[in-house]
Amino acid sequence: MAKRNYSPFGPDAKRAVESGLTAAEWYHSEVPRKVMKELMARSDGPAIRDTVILYGSMILLAGIGIALWPSWWSAPFWLAYGVLYGSASDSRWHECGHGTAFRTPWMNTLVYEIASFMIMRNSATWRWSHARHHSETYIVGRDPEIAVMRPPELAKLFLNFFGILDVIRFFPTLIRNALSGPTAAEKTFVPQSEWGKVQRVAIIHLSIYAATLGLALWLGSILPLMVIGLPRMYGAWHHVMTGLLQHGGLADNVVDHRLNSRTVYMNPISRFIYWNMNYHVEHHMFPMVPYHALPRLHEVIKDDLPPPNRSIAEAFAEMWPAIRRQVVNEDYFIKRDLPPTARPYREDFHQYVPGMMRPAAAE
């Protein structure tokens, strides 16, 4: 296969549309309507509890960090604060963007706006990019949220554990958005009616960063930036670690989330930070199911899915060699076996994916 082109204006994007891939119906496991209705039911309780714990912990940790500053004794508190700021905000952004975390709409909106700011995403732009990520998950040129492009650039993956590339990319776009609205690429997935909002959000974010920077200069200390901005870098590692596992090393250009997404059993702290998005196949198949119901959904459909990885370490042991192989062979991917109880992969959907028709080639 020719080298992948991830541009929304490139040949792969065009081919995906022309071949009918973008219009294809995605596979989903059978769940009786009554059960699905119970799973989809919304409530405010779990998300209010988790949000109070999250923001309460952040205030406490930052308070201790400030009190101990500039001693090195403040470091562990900053590290913990950073993970909540620079990683938990990713999952809050995600769940509240779907509108499933809380039952009450304004609560979803409020936490979504706060989380978007912390994770350095324009709340008006990213809502739309994520809609596309769900319609056309890992379809080359169409999905704007592909974390590991092939062939993978390992140096970039490492840099992003500290948010370096994200932040370097974020600020020029923020300034452009604040001056003139969405970029040409953003206009491919943000409807015109929202372009003004993209600009307004960018102006607000930019003003907060300018005020924080101004305060840091006035105080002659980076302390304000330790609270706002920098934790997006020193606390990013957890969301990058879990984010890579979502789709890394798996197939692209398919219409079955069992082939391109990964479910991983995780420890309770990571699940709190990640808001249960470790049930990632389940989330993609049924985005209406709130995060707190995903473990139950997993129990209902697990016999139709590839066996989940049993820990973060085990998932990395599966994914990392595959990513390294993709450096030299970008068509390589892991095709996981389904249990005998599962409905088989629809090979006829996927004839154009090298390796799908010959399991030996994909191992």
Partner 1 sequence: MPWIDACATEDIDAEDLIRWDHGGQTFAIYHSPEGEFFATAGLCTHEQVHLCDGLVMGHLIECPKHNGQFDYRTGEAKRAPVCVNLRTFPVRVEGGRVLVEVA
Q: CB 127 → partner 1: shortest distance, Å? A: 6
Residue 165 main-chain phi, psi, to 5 deg: -70, -40
Contact track, partner 1, 60-89, x by CB under 8 A: ------------------------------
**What whole-number distance in Å separates Cα of residue 177 and Cα of residue 199?**
5
Q: Is 194 in the site for partner 1 (CB under 8 A)?
A: yes
Per residue, the 3-state secondary structure of 165-215, as one string, reads HHHHHHHHHHHHHHHHCCCHHHHCCCCHHHHHHHHHHHHHHHHHHHHHHHH
Residue 73 DSSP label: G
Q: Is 344 in the site for partner 1 (CB under 8 A)?
A: no
Q: CB 203 → partner 1: shortest distance, Å? A: 20
What is the CA 344 to chain-centroid distance, rounded? 27
Residue 184: burial class (beta carbons within 10 Å; 0-12, 13-18, 19+):
exposed
Please, which residue, 5 or 109, has the CB nearer to partner 1? 109
Q: Binding segment for partner 1 among 85-93, 186-194, 234-242, 257-265 (CB under 8 A)? A: 186-194
Contacts of 345 (CB under 8 A, 6+ apart): 256, 258, 259, 338, 356
* Contacts of partner 1 in 100-139 (CB under 8 A): 100, 103, 105, 127-128, 131, 134-135
Q: Is 98 in the site for partner 1 (CB under 8 A)?
A: yes
Query: Can you say whether the dihedral through the CA atoms of 191, 252, 238, 108 is positive or negative?
Result: positive
* Contacts of partner 1 in 248-267 (CB under 8 A): none
- Judged by CB under 8 A, how many residues of this single chain contact partner 1? 21
Q: Is 32 in the site for partner 1 (CB under 8 A)?
A: no
Please, which residue, 46 or 151, has the CB nearer to partner 1? 46
Q: Which residues bind partner 1 (CB under 8 A)?
A: 36-37, 40-42, 98-100, 103, 105, 127-128, 131, 134-135, 191, 193-194, 286-288
